[in-house]
Every structure is written in structure tokens, then in C-alpha cells.
Structure 1
Amino acid sequence: MRAVTSFRASAKDRNLVDDEVSYYGVVKRILELDYVVFKQIVFYCDWVHIEDKTNGCIVDPDTNLIFVNLGRFMRNTSEVDEPFILAFEAKQVFYCRDLSRDNWHVVLDAPKRLTQEIYRCLRIPTTL
């Protein structure tokens, strides 16, 4: 998901800077909230430590690929750590395991539309 988040340059910095950031996670539960007049789908997620450039999320400067550590998720222990997002806020990505490092995965954007070639590769009937 993409969200606007406030950042500090350092712990001593009192000036917050807002920036749009991509958050990466894994959906753990899908919930349908029924308010009688309308229903809302929410995802309960485990989130990657995007601010931790050593153990969470890094961008390879040579390839510009994004790597995330799916072995170390944020724990939703603070009031500001929100595990829920609305379904329409989510964007599907795929994680491809990095064989050179444990628990690290490359983030791959999902195709916008499934083509006939993708259906053949996945062996999915095209009559869906």
C-alpha cells in the first residue's frame, strides 16, 4: 500500500517531513465488516520494517529492485502501528525469494491484466 507518512531526519530533528511511502506486508486475515447499510472489506496484515534499511527493506542501487525481509515483521504493539487497511488501499505484489539471503524477497509488481500468455504459464483455464 502507498501512504503519506511523517519522517524525521534524525532523532533530534523536531521538523517532520511528509512523504509518500510504499509499505509491504503479507495479508493474514480478510475480514468483512457488516454495518447493515453497507459492508467493508479490510485486510489484517503483517508489515515489513520499511524504515529499517538493514533488516527490513532495501533498494538495490545497481538494479533498482526492492528487497524486503519477510522474516522480521513489525509487531503491532503501539497505537500508531495499524495492522488493518481497507481492501481498496491494497495493491497486489509478488515476493520472489532471494536465494543468497535467508528470508529476503524481491518485490515484483503484479501485472495489471492477466494475458493469454500468463494464463498458459500458470496453466489457468482462460474461461474464468
Structure 2
Amino acid sequence: MFEFDWADNDKGLKQDEFKFTLVNFNHLMYHKHLPTDEPFVLASQAQQVWYISDLLEADWNVVVTMTRRDNYDVYPTIEVEPHSRVELDDNIPTRNEDVCWLREGVEGLFVDKIMTTVENVQVEKDI
């Protein structure tokens, strides 16, 4: 529960030409001297605000609502963009096709056996 000062809606609350809400706490709704004056409210019924003194009117304060830390309303709705389709080239081989690894127009060299480094050294010494 929180204790509040309730401003009178008729005398202590107004909007300026820029649609800002202004509050004058000299005009309270409850003065806390009657048993029916209830200055308390549940936390679920309240919204956190802060006040800036109005420079043009001394008794009035501008109401500014608070945004909780790490709670920003950047994207109020989820925007879903359609997926773009990528057209693949028909020349790309698939796994089911045989792939030819020889270049056309160039003489190739066929190697029957892969030689290890030790065999390469021995061949060079024999020459």
C-alpha cells in the first residue's frame, strides 16, 4: 500500500496547450482529518510518476510518467517480414549426381598412388 496526496480533479488538475497534465497540490481532495479521507492505494492500482515544477505557473507541477528500467516499449507489435526465396543455380551438383573433378580443355595427370614424404625423399636421393 502507498499513501498519496489526491489532487482535486476540478481545481488541482488541468492540461496545458501541449497536452501535458499539470497538478496543483494546494488543492487536495482529502485533508486527512475526516475518517472517510482515505489516502492509501494498492500498488497494483498506482502508476509511478514524477513531477517537474512549471516555470510559468509557480504552484503547478507537470506530471511525467515513469518507464521502468530495462522495460522499453520499442516494438509494440511484432513485425514479420516475408521470407525471401533464393533461386539456386541449376548447375550446382546435388549429392545424388556424380561430380567430375577434371577440368575440360587441360591435360590432366593421373596419380595411382599417394606417396608419403619418406618415399619422396628416397626417390630424390636415387636420382
Measured against the shorter chain, the TM-score band is 0.3 to 0.5
> Which structure features the higher share of strand residues?
1
Greater C-alpha Rg: 2
**TM-score of the superposed pair, with normalisation by structure 2:** 0.47
TM-score, scaled to structure 1: 0.47
